[in-house]
Amino acid sequence: MSLRGHLPFRLSVAAVALCLAAACGGASAASSQGSNGSTLTVLAAASLSRVFPGIGRLFARTHPGTAVRFSFGGTDLLTAQIEQGVQGDVFAGASTKYADRLLAERLVGRPRAFCTNRLVLVVPPSNPAGITSLRDLATKDARLVIGSATVPIGAYTRTVLGNLDAAFGSSYSAKVLSHVVSDELDVESVLTKVRTGEADAGFVYVTDAAAAGSAVRRIDLPDNAQAVANYQAAAIARSTHPSLAGAFVDFLRSPVPQQALRRAGFGPPAV
């Protein structure tokens, strides 16, 4: 039997060819949005996931032919991905620590502060553990969920608890941490576990609590215990659209995106 006459074989060759074409086609389609074919990929902290898509659309409007897509995750995960060579154009993290590290490794350009955030304690509306104050976290048997020590929200949470030791006694933070039932890998997961009532309380950013609306009850922190999250953005060194990436970083500091950030509850950039 000749190869030509062997229908199943020819079909499989055709199928493979189709798959390859589809794969290539898919890739080129993704990068050919707009007339000059630029898609900007922004790796951004999970806490920006509600406000950045709108800012991306604003950017695309002011830069015709550009599409912006996002990859949201824990800032530490995004940093690890950039270090492992993931494709991307802009990094926007919730802490200066990671931007500084990427800068030292020459993987990003100069980081620029574009907004700040603060923390708040949230409990489910039904408040199953009866948490009404920060002190309750140490005294009541509450199932607390916080960010892992390696993500910014987790680091800030530990800073806040340490700050509260001054007010509630030196064993306060240790007692509170003993009630932790899960170290979540990003702030969205903390919020979800509180919203769904699986956790009795959790520390999130004020912007997350604001977005959750009546799905959570807020317990504010005293100003002297706050940790200020300083968000920084930087162009990724390996970006295939370096000037566009730089333009996006600058754009974040311009008035209209700043208004959008402020509406979502973010504070002005740190100087």
Partner 1 sequence: MRRSDRLVPIGFGLAAALLVGFVLLPMAAVFVRVPLATLLSQLRSNAALGALGVSLRTTATSLAIILVLGTPAAYLLGTRSFRGAAALETVLEVPLVLPPAVAGIALLAAFGRFGLLGGTLRAAGIEVGLTPAAVVMALTFVAMPFYVRQAVGAFASVDRQVLAASRTLGAGDGETFLRVAVPLARKGLSAGAALAFARALGEFGATIMFAGNLQGRTQTLPLAIYGLYSADNLPGALALAALLVAVSVGLLVGVKVILRAGRTQGWEGWTASSRSTSGIV
Chain residues that interact with partner 1, rule: CB under 8 A: 1-4, 9, 74, 76-77, 79-80, 83-84, 128, 143, 145, 148, 150-151, 180-185, 193, 196-199
| The residue count for the chain | 271
**Smallest distance, partner 1 to C-beta of residue 81, A:** 9
**Smallest distance, partner 1 to C-beta of residue 175, A:** 16
Nearer to partner 1 (CB atom), residue 143 or residue 218: 143
**Smallest distance, partner 1 to C-beta of residue 168, A:** 23
**Smallest distance, partner 1 to C-beta of residue 255, A:** 35
Tell me the residue type at 131.
I
Q: Which residues contact 44 (CB under 8 A, 6 or more apart)?
A: 52, 70, 71, 72, 78, 90, 91, 92, 93
The whole-angstrom separation of Cα 7 and Cα 3 is: 8
Task: Report the relative pairing of strands 112-117 and 180-184 from DSSP bridges.
Answer: unpaired
Concatenated DSSP letters for 178-244? HTEEEEESSHHHHHHHHHTTSSSEEEEEHHHHHHHGGGSEEEPPPGGG---EEEEEEEBTT-SSHHH
Nearest to 98 by CA among 267, 229, 259, 268: 229
Q: 240 with 89: CB under 8 angstroms?
A: yes
Nearer to partner 1 (CB atom), residue 151 or residue 235: 151
Nearer to partner 1 (CB atom), residue 145 or residue 264: 145
Torsion 178-226-210-133 (CA) sign? positive
**Smallest distance, partner 1 to C-beta of residue 180, A:** 7
The whole-angstrom separation of Cα 230 and Cα 156 is: 11
- What is the three-class DSSP state of 8? helix
**Smallest distance, partner 1 to C-beta of residue 96, A:** 16
Nearer to partner 1 (CB atom), residue 194 or residue 261: 194
Task: Report the relative pairing of strands 90-93 and 38-45 from DSSP bridges.
Answer: parallel
Nearer to partner 1 (CB atom), residue 80 or residue 247: 80
**Smallest distance, partner 1 to C-beta of residue 153, A:** 13
Q: 145 with 180: CB under 8 angstroms?
A: yes
Nearer to partner 1 (CB atom), residue 50 or residue 101: 101
Nearer to partner 1 (CB atom), residue 1 or residue 271: 1
